[in-house]
């Protein structure tokens, strides 16, 4: 259970050590991809708590969502439409939904344990 947290810390450390920098014009794509990744993570946690977790769905969701979000923002930049807003809204909403579901599940479990 602690392994993902350790992985996150390791990832942060690697990111700091690598000292990569994305040019200003591409940072919005990365932020979208990041949001998608976070959404997928939370979706994964939720499905894990709901016991419907599937590794394949999770993995494909993670990569597909990040790439598609970045690609959508990219295409939007070409078309002159702020498509990344759509991605942000969609992923934001999903993020909050997922968080809400996780919170409910955790709370109900805690209440059940109390009882």
Partner 1 sequence: MLQKSRKITFILAIISAIIGVMLTVQLRSSLHPVHKESRSIAELRTTLQKELEKHKNLLADISKYNQLYYQYETSLSEDESISVMKEELARNRRMAGMVAVEGEGVVLKVVDAQIPEEPILDENMTAPVVGEYTIDDEDLRWLVNILFANGAQAISINGHRLISTTAIRNVGDTIQIDTRTIQPPYELKALGDPEVLLSALKLEGVEENFQLANKKVLAEKMDKLMISANNETRTIQYMKPVKEKGDS
Per CB under 8 A, residues contacting partner 1 are 1, 3-16, 18-24, 27, 30-31, 33-34, 37-38, 40-41, 44, 48, 53, 55, 58-59, 62
Nearer to partner 1 by C-beta: 63 or 111?
63
CA 5, chain centre distance (Å)? 15
Element (H, E) at 30: helix 27-49
CA 8, chain centre distance (Å)? 13
Q: How far is the CB of 33 from partner 1 (least distance, A)?
A: 7
Say how many Å lie between the first and final Cα of the chain, rounded.
25
Cβ atoms within 10 Å of 66's Cβ, excluding its own: 21
Nearer to partner 1 by C-beta: 13 or 81?
13
Nearer to partner 1 by C-beta: 87 or 115?
87
């Amino acid at each position: 259970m602690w392994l993902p947290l350790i992985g996150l810390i390791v990832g942060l450390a690697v990111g700091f050590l690598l000292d990569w920098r994305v040019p200003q014009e591409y940072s919005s794509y990365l932020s979208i991809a990041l949001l998608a990744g976070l959404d997928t993570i939370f979706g994964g946690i939720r499905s894990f708590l709901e016991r419907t977790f599937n590794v394949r769905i999770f993995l494909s969701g993670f990569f597909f969502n990040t790439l598609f979000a970045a690609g959508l923002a990219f295409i939007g930049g070409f078309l002159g439409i702020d498509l990344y807003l759509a991605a942000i809204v969609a992923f934001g909403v999903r993020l909050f939904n997922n968080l809400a579901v996780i919170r409910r599940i955790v709370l109900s479990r805690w209440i059940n344990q109390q009882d």
